[in-house]
Amino acid sequence: MISIQLTFDDGPGPSTARLLDVLQHARFTATFFVLGKHAQVQPALLRRMAEDGHVIGNHTWSHARDGELSDQRLKDDIAATDRLIREAFEKAGVASPERIPLRLPYGAQEGDTRLRVLASLGRSHVGWTSLFDDWVRPAPNVDRLVGAMRAHMADQIHRNEDAVLCLHDASPTAEEREATVDAVERWLSLRVY
Ligand SMILES: [Zn+2]
């Protein structure tokens, strides 16, 4: 039996509260790779992620690309975001995990210098088995998004490999992602997981 993980990057944002409602209703736990700059202004949402049993991952503070920050600045950004995540667990009265998973903005490319920084911190990059174009403008068609999620699941089941779906509950500029929430709600209602 393969495991199926839903991961959400770039939040918390305006669509995150509804996404948490949808997940809670389906009793499904996910991983949120949050941006420190958004977490700082949405502490209640971060706390709710912890209370609801979700994994909170680090997506750095500012969503910088490879080469945009000095190594030290990237380390500081990661540490500041870790602090907010641990604070959320503390406020929720939930034990903070020993290791906070980390996903680099834009993913880890070949020769990505940020990987060297992660290695020096003893951290690794958490990737995905499929991205979905849920960040496009105008917002994607919900049926197509659900179809793509289902098709990826079918592929992974066929290969007998775990599935890590990468979706977005916000953006670096904290845009809403209502189509993503609608797609997740429909996908969960189909009980294909
Ligand atoms: Zn991102």
* In the chain, where the domains are located: 4-189
| 26 Cα–ligand 1 center, Å | 25
Kindly tell me if the per-residue pLDDT of 161 is higher than 90.
yes
| 174 Cα–ligand 1 center, Å | 11
Measured between alpha carbons, how far is 89 from 14 in angstroms, rounded to an integer?
21
| 65 Cα–ligand 1 center, Å | 10
Token look-up 């490879």 returns 66
pLDDT of residue 47: 98
pLDDT of residue 137: 86
What average pLDDT does this structure show over 132-149? 92
pLDDT of residue 25: 97
Measured between alpha carbons, how far is 41 from 165 in angstroms, rounded to an integer?
26
- The residues annotated with a catalytic role in the active site are 9, 168
Q: Is 134:180 a contact under the CB 8 Å cutoff?
A: yes
Measured between alpha carbons, how far is 6 from 31 in angstroms, rounded to an integer?
6
Pick the CATH number of 4-189 from 3.40.50.10490, 3.30.70.330, 3.20.20.370, 3.90.79.10: 3.20.20.370
Measured between alpha carbons, how far is 12 from 44 in angstroms, rounded to an integer?
10
pLDDT of residue 191: 75
Residues across the chain: 193
| 90 Cα–ligand 1 center, Å | 25
